[in-house]
Chain A
Amino acid sequence: MHKEYPIRLFPLVVLSILLFTPTVASASGFSGLVKSEAEEPIVGAMVTFRFGSPFQERTVFTSEDGRYRVDGLPASTPYTIRVRRIGWHDIRASESTGSDENSLDFKMIRHTDPALVAAQLPANHWYALVLDQITNEHEREQMVRQCTYCHQQGNEATRVQRPVEEWHKVLGLMARMGGGLDAEFSAKVPELFNSAYDPKTAIPQLTRGFDQPEFAPPPNAEVRRAVIDEYELGGRASMQHDMIVHPDGIAYSVDMATDTLFRLDPSVPGGARESFPIPSAALPLGGQDPSGALPANTSMRVGPHSLQVGADGDVWITLAVGNKLARFDTVEKSFIIEDLPGGIYPHTLRIDHKNRVWYTIAVSNHVGMYDSATGQHEVIRVPARSFGEEVMLRMIPVALWLRQYVEFDLSGGGGEGASLPVPYGIDIAPDGGIWFSQLNANRIGHIDPDTFEITMIDTPFTAPRRMRFDSKGKLWIPGFSSNLISSFDIETGEFEHIEIPVEPLGSETPYALNVDLVTDDVWICGTNSDSLIRYQQDTGEFTVYPLPTQVTYTRDIDFSDDGGVWTSNSNAPAWQIETGIPRIIRLDVNGQISAPLVGSNP
C-alpha cells in the first residue's frame, strides 16, 4: 500500500475523521518519504506514530534523502501520525498498518508566518532574549536559577506580556514556592520579560532568515539514526519528577503531585502501566509542613520525589513533603514507610554498596543515611557558609512552628530560595565516599561514609545540581545556571569545565546528568531546549538529540541494559506540556533496541 499525503494541509473536519477512523490489519512498520512542495527531500523531520491508550509515541528522523522508516509498531492498531520540522507546518494524519510494509509519503508546507515559526522554537531561544538584556552577572544568575526552577517558559502560557502588577504577583507566588529573587532585581523583572517577549521585537529576532536553509539546521546523521519512544504517564495534574529503570527492565516513575508510583513495562507493545498510590498517613495537602503556596490542582500529601533501586531489588523513594522514605517491594507490590528522625525535605537519594540509603535533605541543609539492615538513621548537618546562616538554618523548625501563630517570613523579603543552601544532588564514589552538591551555595561536599566527617569544596561555577561519577571515579557536575558541565578529580581537587554548545549559547539549564558506565558517555538534561545531550569523553564531542514534544522539562536520566537512555518530562504544571500530560522517554541512540512487538492490541 502506498499513500501520499497531499501538499495542502488537511481541512480540520477531514482530519478529525481520519483521526478517529481506523482500519485494521496486521504489520509492524512504515516507511516513506517526506518532501517539500518543490519535491525536495526534507532532512531531519521528526515522524511520530502514536498508538494505544494511554498512548505511546515512536519518533524517527528523516535521512539525507528525506526517507524514514519506523519499525516495531504493534499490529492491528490505529495510529495518529505527526510530521514535524521547525519552519514547516506540522502534518497530522491517521493510518493503520495494512500490510507487511506500508508506505506513507508526506509533503510539508513551509511556514510563511514568522510568529508560527517562533512558536515552534524551544524555550531556550526565547529565554535567551531575556538573558541578553541582563548585564549584571548576579542578576543573570538569579534569573536563570529561579525563573526556570520547575518549568520552562516554553509556550504562550508563560511567554506573555503582563501588567507590571501581575508580574509582581507572579514573582511573589514564585518566591513562596522557593524561587525567590532579591528585591532590587525583582523590581526590574517585569520590564525585562515584557520587553523580551514583545512580539514586535521578539519574533523578528527569533526568526531572522527563517526561510533560509541555515535556519534551524537539521540534526546530523548520527542523531537521525535515533528512535525516541515516549509513554504518556499519569494525568494533567501529574508531575513525574524522576524515573529509573529497574535491573529487570521495568521503568518506575514517581508522580510527586499525586503521590503515585508508576510502573511501566516497555516490553509490552504500547507499554503496560500500573500505578500504586503511596500511603499518605492522613497527612494534609502539602504534607507535614505545608508550603504557603501549593499548585492549585495538587493532591500531594507525601510528595514522592526521587527513587533508586536497592541491592535486593526494592525501590526506595524520598517522600519530600511527607518527610519520610518509602520502600516498594516490586514483587509483593507493597510499600513500607520509614519515618525520618530529622531534617526537612528529603530530596535526592543514592544507595551505596552496603545497601545504605543516602539522601540530601534540601530545606534543613542535611544529608541523611538509613541502613535498613540495622535500622540506623543518621542525619548529618552540612556546614553553613556563615554563622548567620547556621543560626537561620537551625531556627527553621522553630519558625515553621511559629508560623501558625504569627506572620513570619524567613526569606527576608522573598529571597528564600536563593538564601537557603539546598543540598541537592548526591552520588557514591567508587571508593564508597559520599558526594553531594549545594545548589544555592555553589559547593560540593564529601562525607566519609564511616565517620560522617564532612569536607566542603567551593565550585568555581554556579548552581551545581545533580551529579554523577563515571567508571573511573571522576565526578561530573552540571552547572544549572552556568551552562556547563564540569569534571572534578577527587584526588587532585581540580575542576575542568566544558561549555554546553546548545544554541543560542548560554541558554541551556542542565538540571541533571548521568554517566553511562559502559561507554563513560556523559548524558545531560537539555532541560531548557527539549533535548538530551551526549558528551563523549573520548572524543570531546557533544551531540544534541532533540526530543519531539514541546515543553519537555527533564530532571534526571537513567539507562537500561539494552542501551536506552531514559528520562521523564516533569514540567510543572503538566498542562503546559504539549498534549498536557507528562511522558517518560526512551532514547534509542542507534535505533537498534529490539522492539517488544508484534502483538495484537485491538
Chain B
Amino acid sequence: MFSRVMVCLALAVSLAACADPEKENVLRQHRLDAQSQKLSSILGDATARVSSGEQGLTIQLTFGADADLDLYVTDPLLETVYFANHSGKSGGRISDDVRCDEIQTGESVDQPRIEEVRFDNPMPGLYRIGIDYPTKCKGGEEQAAFAVSVLHNGEQIQKLGSVSFERFDVVVMEFEI
C-alpha cells in the first residue's frame, strides 16, 4: 500500500512538473467540444424519437463508448433517480444503466450511448441534473464529453460539456417547470 502510494506520488509529481498544462488543456478542450457537438447532434435525433416526450419530461444523457457516465436527476421532492435508485416517488424512472460492459464486441468507441430519466406526469418545481464519471471504458481519458437534453411539453433545451474522471458534477443544469 505504502509503496503504491509513493509510486503514484512520484509519477504524479513528474507528470505535473513536465506537462505544459495550458497547451494541453486547450487541445483537450477543443477535442471535448467537438465530441460534445457530435453527441449533441445524435442526441437531437434520439430525442426526436422519444415516443411520449411531448406530454412528459424526458432527460437524456449521451456519451461516448470510452466512458461510463451516470445521469442523476433530482426531482422537486429532492429525491434523486439514478442507476441505483431506479424510480422516485414523484414518478421519475431511469432507463437501464449503460455501463462499459454494455459495449458490444467490435463497437466503436465513437458509438454514443444514452441514459434517460423519464417523468410521465412531472411534478412542478425545480429539477437538478448531475453527471458522474465513475469508470473509464476502453480508451477512456481523464475527461469525457457529454450532451444532455431536457424535453418538456415539446420544448427542448440542451447542455454540452465534459466531466472529469471520479469528479461528480453535482449541478450540470437546474431548471424549473
Q: A-side interface residues toward B, CB under 8 Å?
A: 157, 162, 165-166, 169-170, 172-173, 176, 235-237, 285-286, 292-298, 386-389, 391-392, 395, 398-399, 402, 405-410, 412, 419, 573-575, 580
A407 B142 Cβ-Cβ under 8 A: yes
Residues of chain B within 8 A (CB-CB) of A392 are 1-2, 5
Bound CA span A292–B79, Å: 20
Q: Using A395-B5, A409-B8 as known contacts, say yes or no to A296 and B142 having CB atoms under 8 A apart.
A: no
A419 B8 Cβ-Cβ under 8 A: no
B77 A410 Cβ-Cβ under 8 A: no
A294 CB to nearest chain B CB (Å): 5
A-B contact pairs, 22 of them (CB 8 A): A166-B83, A166-B84, A166-B97, A169-B84, A170-B84, A176-B134, A292-B166, A292-B168, A293-B166, A293-B168, A295-B80, A296-B82, A296-B130, A297-B74, A297-B79, A386-B2, A395-B5, A405-B21, A406-B16, A408-B8, A575-B77, A575-B79
B68 CB to nearest chain A CB (Å): 8
User: Out of A235, A236, A296, which one reaches B128, CB within 8 Å?
Assistant: A296
A399 B74 Cβ-Cβ under 8 A: no
B54 lies within 8 A of chain A by Cβ: no
B168 A406 Cβ-Cβ under 8 A: no
B170 A294 Cβ-Cβ under 8 A: yes
A111 CB to nearest chain B CB (Å): 23
A412 B1 Cβ-Cβ under 8 A: yes
Please give me the residue from chain B that is nearest to A388 by CB atom. B2
B90 CB to nearest chain A CB (Å): 11
Bound CA span A293–B19, Å: 27
Residues of chain B within 8 A (CB-CB) of A406 are 11-12, 15-16, 142
Residues of chain A within 8 A (CB-CB) of B168 are 176, 292-294, 296
Given contacts A165-B101, A166-B83, 18 further A-B pairs with CB under 8 A are: A166-B97, A169-B84, A172-B134, A176-B134, A236-B77, A293-B132, A293-B166, A294-B168, A295-B170, A297-B78, A297-B128, A298-B170, A389-B2, A405-B15, A410-B5, A412-B4, A419-B1, A574-B78
B78 A169 Cβ-Cβ under 8 A: no
| 9 tightest A-B CB contacts, nearest first | A388-B2, A236-B78, A296-B80, A237-B78, A296-B72, A575-B79, A292-B166, A297-B74, A297-B78
Residues of chain B within 8 A (CB-CB) of A386 are 2
User: Out of B2, B19, B83, which one reaches A405, CB within 8 Å?
Assistant: B19
B170 A173 Cβ-Cβ under 8 A: no
Residues of chain B within 8 A (CB-CB) of A165 are 97, 99, 101
User: Out of A388, A395, A573, which one reaches B9, CB within 8 Å?
Assistant: A395
Q: B-side interface residues toward A, CB under 8 Å?
A: 1-2, 4-6, 8-9, 11-13, 15-16, 19, 21, 70, 72, 74, 77-80, 82-85, 89, 97, 99, 101, 128, 130, 132, 134-135, 142, 165-168, 170-171
Residues of chain B within 8 A (CB-CB) of A575 are 77-79, 89
Please give me the residue from chain B that is nearest to A290 by CB atom. B167
Please give me the residue from chain B that is nearest to A177 by CB atom. B168
Interface hub of B1, B82, B83, B135 (most chain A Cβ within 10 A): B1
Residues of chain B within 8 A (CB-CB) of A409 are 8, 166
B13 A402 Cβ-Cβ under 8 A: yes
A458 CB to nearest chain B CB (Å): 20
Residues of chain B within 8 A (CB-CB) of A295 are 80, 170
Please give me the residue from chain B that is nearest to A286 by CB atom. B170
Residues of chain A within 8 A (CB-CB) of B84 are 162, 166, 169-170, 173
Residues of chain A within 8 A (CB-CB) of B12 are 399, 402, 405-406, 408
A429 CB to nearest chain B CB (Å): 35
Bound CA span A176–B101, Å: 21
Residues of chain B within 8 A (CB-CB) of A410 are 5, 8
Residues of chain A within 8 A (CB-CB) of B166 are 176, 292-293, 407, 409
Interface hub of B5, B19, B99 (most chain A Cβ within 10 A): B5
Please give me the residue from chain B that is nearest to A391 by CB atom. B2
Residues of chain A within 8 A (CB-CB) of B170 are 285-286, 294-296, 298
B79 A169 Cβ-Cβ under 8 A: no
User: Out of B85, B130, B135, B167, which one reaches A157, CB within 8 Å?
Assistant: B85
B163 CB to nearest chain A CB (Å): 11
A110 CB to nearest chain B CB (Å): 28
Residues of chain B within 8 A (CB-CB) of A389 are 2
B79 A172 Cβ-Cβ under 8 A: no
B175 CB to nearest chain A CB (Å): 15
Residues of chain A within 8 A (CB-CB) of B142 are 406-407
Bound CA span A421–B21, Å: 34
Please give me the residue from chain B that is nearest to A164 by CB atom. B101
B83 A169 Cβ-Cβ under 8 A: yes
Bound CA span A573–B72, Å: 14
B2 CB to nearest chain A CB (Å): 3
Bound CA span A388–B7, Å: 13
A173 B9 Cβ-Cβ under 8 A: no
Interface hub of A170, A235, A293 (most chain B Cβ within 10 A): A293
Bound CA span A580–B89, Å: 10
B16 A402 Cβ-Cβ under 8 A: yes
A166 CB to nearest chain B CB (Å): 6
B6 A391 Cβ-Cβ under 8 A: yes
B16 A405 Cβ-Cβ under 8 A: yes
